[in-house]
Amino acid sequence: MTKAEIVAEIAQRTGIEKVNVQEVVESFMSVLKGSMKKGNNVYLRGFGSFIIKRRAEKTGRNISKNTTIIIPAHNIPSFKPSKTFMEEIKNNVK
């Protein structure tokens, strides 16, 4: 499902104009990204958590040049679904 499809679905369900829904969705994503850029996790009860994971420094290989490189420690965004959300997905077998 794309962002446009999400906007269309919400607009259809709520009766709110697509332009307004688009603005709300964009604002939500902007707030989410801004919070995570500041180092904060975002928790949505019943849905899941957007968390920041720390990756340790490690050694990698450049196969084409046959050289070793050091990949520095860095943060990555991650999503952890809530237990209730996971159960809904697990029980929705077709």
pLDDT digits (tens, 9 = 90+) for 10-19: 999 999 999 9
pLDDT of 70 > 90? The answer is yes
Q: What is the pLDDT of residue 41?
A: 96
H helix runs in the chain, sequence order:
3-14, 18-37, 83-90
pLDDT of 30 > 90? The answer is yes
Pairing between β-strand 58-62 and β-strand 67-71 as defined by DSSP bridges: antiparallel
Q: What is the pLDDT of residue 94?
A: 63
User: What average pLDDT does the segment 37-59 reach?
Assistant: 95
